[in-house]
Structure 1
């Protein structure tokens, strides 16, 4: 199948409408914490609060979202004020004395938990950079660049962060080059940073060299330091949705670099490999974990359908189609789009359920918790709407 120009216009209207009239209104303004700052985001299907703790990841992501909506959709004062509240909460409560960030704090900002990696920091960088652009706050821009520098240190200095495992079976994960690539892309596209282009190229090269296995048509989640497969349960476990997210980060970079053909081929290859391994041909949707050799997966939620891999696959398939014109990607995009909006979308209350059983029935009703909040879904709807708007305007000028 192919999408006609009218199909693409309809899709653009659909994503814009879902974003602005369904997804964002589920969260805001009710999630603004007027008393302590930041956001109250742990919510049930109807929007009622199930916990008033604050996940630092989601505080940063919500700050990024509101700033980005202000920067690219409408200069709405409510969004700017909300972003400032999130930015101020992050600075006031979410950094430990050693400069590392917490993962989980109480409503009033008392620390509950730190983790052994620096993803809180990457979400701070994109939040501070987008807020700096929205507000013109030069200090926010400086902080975004400074914390990005700390992330580079954490990513490249062994022993700087306490390791999760011993060194008996060393490994490296695709998550670090992936998240650093996207953090750099966000920083570059909001406030600019001369380090970004070279670092993005380095992280893409790492992914291509170590994690993509053409002989078995696979993108590994973790490998040994020489790129070989670790033939143990953890080493064999794949996360198709995560690799597909990495694929669209690379396709985004291809587009930024004037449709770089090597990066288009690389991103499409990653998408192809992990669609083949992740798409559930029985029930539809993206399976959460797979084993590289089709052995049993340890995690009991391995065949569930989580919301965010579907958001990433909707973006990746649409990007791949618009960059290549290959009808396969239009077909895949329609499959994952239709599945997702049929099964995850809460037509009564708005937004998406986060967790489905393999057959597509709702496993539990929470819309917000320590890991889910206003990020993957609104980012998907915002990104796809903007992508289609740009594509249609370029074609109209031809």
Structure 2
């Protein structure tokens, strides 16, 4: 079964996901096209989001690292050039939220989440090219976050172009406006982990320890055995929300950080949490060989979102490797089967559906590509599963 899963996931990456995103390259204006609607119409003049561009840069960098296909480096370089030339604010520092199709600033918001993803991408690009300029830009964004996007208590969210605080409408949902979010903290952790992996910088190490302790002390709710999601400035939770996808994603991303840090004391403190999360997801959110979206005020949202399924495959596989409990392996394989049957869009020229409903139908008609819909979650699932099955074998 593992051999079959390996072959299917590798094929999905090489023959479906990579070719689709290669076609999104904008050769005339730079970067990658920002919108393909549900009916597979390419909107060449749509906005180009920095998150989309950063994630594409990260994707092609890591696809090259895994597959050693030199053609992929050119796509990474294309995304890198556009990021540095169009998104980076040479006056105030940091990266903008989005530009128009020509590369002119469209939304000048400076969001901590966005800075972190650019660090993540630039660090991976440096890893495959050893381009010192890419690393310098990554560290400039790191300094921007540390000096302008946080206070003594932790990381803040949204700012204007000159880093004056503004309303966090980008990363707030479910009817609340959050001054701090679990999601932003998770991806600062992710970006810093990649930066530390390729540099072993002592200051970055220190910040990773700080962030991990924040998860332990501020984000994790021990009584409910879940992470809280949206907070005020004092880390008071704003809503009764259980984000199943973010919890399973956190379980393996935090394990990755702990592994790279090699801090045994910290691992002993936090590993029990990352071990608990997959069991809780199996108990509360695993239905019909898939994982539900979230639970708000005790009511489940039964939509099956593409990224939640992708992260669940990795999270369950990671849990299997940690515990040897075969039910996690069975769940990882079952969710992958669900993905290939219902989330992967079989139409020519498409990629994955955004989501399907409880009847396994893509009823929302959400775009195939848009500022948040990119090859990050599904591409990373492929990288992780291919690499992990090689180890298990």
TM-score bin (small chain): 0.7 to 0.9
Change (3 A) 1:225 1:278: farther
| 8 Å CA contact retained: 1:117, 1:161 | no
CA distance in 2 between partners of 1:67 and 1:51 (Å): 24
User: Matched residue of 2:135: which SS?
Assistant: helix
> Where does residue 117 of structure 2 map in the other structure?
123
> Where does residue 173 of structure 2 map in the other structure?
none
Whether 1:248 and 2:247 are equivalent positions in the alignment is no
> Where does residue 36 of structure 1 map in the other structure?
29
Alignment of 1:60-99 (within 5 A): 60-76=54-70, 78-96=71-89, 97-99=91-93
CA distance in 1 between partners of 2:28 and 2:232 (Å): 48
| 8 Å CA contact retained: 1:239, 1:289 | yes
CA distance in 1 between partners of 2:69 and 2:341 (Å): 32
**CA-to-partner distance for each residue in 1:123-179, whole Å, 9 max, x for gaps?**
21122222222222111111112212212334423685514279x998532123211
CA distance in 1 between partners of 2:51 and 2:382 (Å): 20
CA distance in 1 between partners of 2:312 and 2:341 (Å): 15
- What is the root-mean-square deviation of aligned Cα atoms in Å? 2.8
User: Matched residue of 1:290: which SS?
Assistant: strand
> Where does residue 361 of structure 2 map in the other structure?
361
**CA-to-partner distance for each residue in 1:302-323, whole Å, 9 max, x for gaps?**
4422211111111100011012
CA distance in 2 between partners of 1:339 and 1:161 (Å): 45
Alignment of 1:304-323 (within 5 A): 304-323=303-322
| 8 Å CA contact retained: 1:116, 1:163 | no
Task: Give the unaligned 5+ runs of structure 1.
Answer: 1-6, 393-398
The offset of 1:74, in angstroms, is 0.9
CA distance in 1 between partners of 2:282 and 2:295 (Å): 12
Q: Per chain length, whose mean CA-contact separation is higher, i.e. which structure has more relative contact order (CA < 8 Å, sep 6+)?
A: 1
The offset of 1:82, in angstroms, is 1.5
**CA-to-partner distance for each residue in 1:9-43, whole Å, 9 max, x for gaps?**
33222222211111111221x22211111111422
Alignment of 1:114-193 (within 5 A): 114-115=108-109, 117-157=111-151, 161-164=164-167, 172-193=180-201
TM-score (norm 2): 0.85
> Where does residue 373 of structure 1 map in the other structure?
374
Task: Give the unaligned 5+ runs of structure 2.
Answer: 170-175
Change (3 A) 1:377 1:165: closer
User: Matched residue of 2:106: which SS?
Assistant: strand
CA distance in 2 between partners of 1:239 and 1:11 (Å): 27
Whether 1:239 and 2:243 are equivalent positions in the alignment is yes
> Where does residue 265 of structure 1 map in the other structure?
272
| 8 Å CA contact retained: 1:305, 1:358 | yes
CA distance in 2 between partners of 1:165 and 1:64 (Å): 25
Change (3 A) 1:67 1:165: closer
The offset of 1:225, in angstroms, is 5.7
**CA-to-partner distance for each residue in 1:331-379, whole Å, 9 max, x for gaps?**
3223322222221012343521112223220121632012101211111
1:288 to 273, 288, 293: 293
CA distance in 2 between partners of 1:262 and 1:42 (Å): 43
> Where does residue 16 of structure 1 map in the other structure?
10
The offset of 1:119, in angstroms, is 2.0
User: Matched residue of 1:318: which SS?
Assistant: helix
Deviating 4+ runs (over 6 angstroms): none
CA distance in 1 between partners of 2:223 and 2:382 (Å): 35
Alignment of 1:292-303 (within 5 A): 293-294=297-298, 302-303=301-302
CA distance in 1 between partners of 2:168 and 2:85 (Å): 31
> Where does residue 340 of structure 2 map in the other structure?
341
1:220 to 202, 214, 228: 228
TM-score (norm 1): 0.84
**CA-to-partner distance for each residue in 1:254-295, whole Å, 9 max, x for gaps?**
44439955544221212333443433x3x553332312x415
CA distance in 2 between partners of 1:391 and 1:193 (Å): 31
> Where does residue 209 of structure 1 map in the other structure?
217
The offset of 1:324, in angstroms, is 1.2
| 8 Å CA contact retained: 1:105, 1:113 | yes
